[in-house]
Amino acid sequence: MRAAVYQSAGEVVVEDVPDAALREPTDAIVRVVRACICGSDLWAYRGIIDRPPGSRLGHEFIGVVEQVGDDIRTVRAGDFVVAPFQWSDNTCPACRDGIQTRCEHGGTFGAPGTEGGQGEAVRVPEADGTLVVVPVSGSGPHGVDPALYPSLLALSDVAATGLHGAVLSGASEGSTVAVIGDGAVGLCAVLGATKVLGAEQVILMSRHPDRAAIGKEFGATDIVPERGEEGIERVRELTGGLGVRHVVEAVGTPDAWDMAIGMTRAGGRIGAVGVPHTTPQLGIFTPFRQHLTLSFGVAPVRHYLPDLLGRVLADGYDPGRVFDLSLPLERVDEGYSAMSERRSIKTMLEP
């Protein structure tokens, strides 16, 4: 089978790899219908973090179950499924607490040494706890309308991750929320804050017209292009000088954290889902003095998936708008280049 493989910074190729095969009775094999490139995939592509040459890529995919292990009870061959970016048994204490990304038996698709979603098929460990079946809902080749594919694919990571940031920020009906980061996760934080949690005012920090336009579609009421102290001051102007009670940090860099702390009003809350690959040194004196609550962590996508799937199928929730480029798998290198150069917000791949 064919799959995307990391070679070195700036070099991703598609080559033949061993066919996906069952190893454990709790496994399933999923034939990939759509996959995509994530902003976190770019850290190694840009040379910011190290990654072993020859490792498989991708942690976001949807597809059709081809084969299941002997112990599988909740999915069967022929089911159309969404796979969260991490697998989990959904039964351990962490999973029962809604933190499936800390599952005792979990792991991440596309991590070095694992199979990745950017390929023709994937072995899914702990398939009963991981995969979420999409009900037959259309006349497509798998009983699912292909028009839904982008939104279903977004559920594998960015839609739930953005929502998780808004949840961690404490946003609720009528809230004012600021979102730092206009990538797919930040945009989905806007969507989650407005469509799921009922926020009334959402300030999106964005200086890219194409991203700001989607942010507006998703419910952003204000767009702030300024950065640093100017951005903080502009947000404070929009909130009567007080700052924002609910802030979503969806970047993970030291500058983004400085902005988040600077624009949060006294007693406010920051929900951070930007992966801190560059290990920012977070000073705690200002949050301490300002009585801020800092909440962060890898989004437990499996926790949010059933609800968000229902919203997509009800035709009122469309996170798939974040995909602005679609390519065949064999041209995955073009997708990485486009996203790295900010010519694409998020690229979808078709094996």
Q: Which of 281, 296, 311 is the last residue of a domain?
A: 296
Contact of 40 with 273, CB cutoff 8 Å = no
Same-domain check for residues 149 and 265: no
Nearest-angstrom CA–CA distance, 28 and 124: 5
Nearest-angstrom CA–CA distance, 311 and 295: 26
218's tokens: 């998703």
Same-domain check for residues 139 and 223: no
Same-domain check for residues 292 and 343: no
Same-domain check for residues 314 and 288: no
Contact of 273 with 168, CB cutoff 8 Å = yes
- pLDDT tens sequence across 268-322: 999 999 988 766 677 888 898 999 999 999 999 999 999 999 999 997 899 999 9
**Predicted pLDDT of residue 280:** 61
Between 316 and 244, the higher pLDDT residue: 244
pLDDT bin (cut points 50, 70, 90) of residue 143 is: confident
Write the CB contacts of 348 (distance below 8 Å, at least 6 apart in sequence): 34, 35, 36, 149, 150, 153, 323, 325, 326, 327
Q: Which of 296, 312, 334 is the last residue of a domain?
A: 296
The total domain count for the chain is 2
In this prediction the pTM is 0.95
- pLDDT tens sequence across 80-118: 999 999 999 999 999 999 999 999 999 999 999 999 999
Residue 237: give its domain's CATH number.
3.40.50.720
**Predicted pLDDT of residue 166:** 98
Same-domain check for residues 72 and 176: no
**Predicted pLDDT of residue 1:** 97
Same-domain check for residues 10 and 149: yes
Same-domain check for residues 226 and 268: yes
Same-domain check for residues 12 and 148: yes
Secondary structure of the chain as H, E, C letters: CEEEEEEECCEEEEEECCCCCCCCCCCEEEEEEEEECCHHHHHHHCCCCCCCCCCECCCCEEEEEEEECCCCCCCCCCCEEEECCEECCCCCHHHHCCCHHHCCCCEECCCCCCCCCCECEEEECCHHHHCEECCCCCCCCCCCCHHHHHHHHHCCCHHHHHHHHHHHCCCCCCCEEEEECCCHHHHHHHHHHHHHCCCCEEEEECCCHHHHHHHHHCCCCEEECCCHHHHHHHHHHHCCCCCEEEEEECCCCHHHHHHHHHHEEEEEEEEECCCCCCCCCCCCHHHHHCCCEEEECCCCHHHHHHHHHHHHHCCCCCHHHHCCEEEEHHHHHHHHHHHHCCCCCCEEEEC
State residue 167 phi and psi, 5-degree precision.
-65, -45
Nearest-angstrom CA–CA distance, 146 and 313: 12
Same-domain check for residues 58 and 124: yes
Query: In terms of residue numbers, what domain contains 235?
Result: 161-296
The CA distances from residue 339 to 217, 228, 335, 343, 347, in Å, are 21, 24, 6, 6, 7
Same-domain check for residues 234 and 265: yes
pLDDT at 125 over 80: yes
Residue 124: give its domain's CATH number.
3.90.180.10
The CA distances from residue 150 to 134, 153, 280, 326, in Å, are 14, 5, 33, 10
Same-domain check for residues 205 and 290: yes
| Average pLDDT value over all residues in the chain | 96
Q: Which of 296, 313, 337 is the last residue of a domain?
A: 296
Same-domain check for residues 304 and 288: no
pLDDT at 141 over 90: no
**Predicted pLDDT of residue 41:** 94
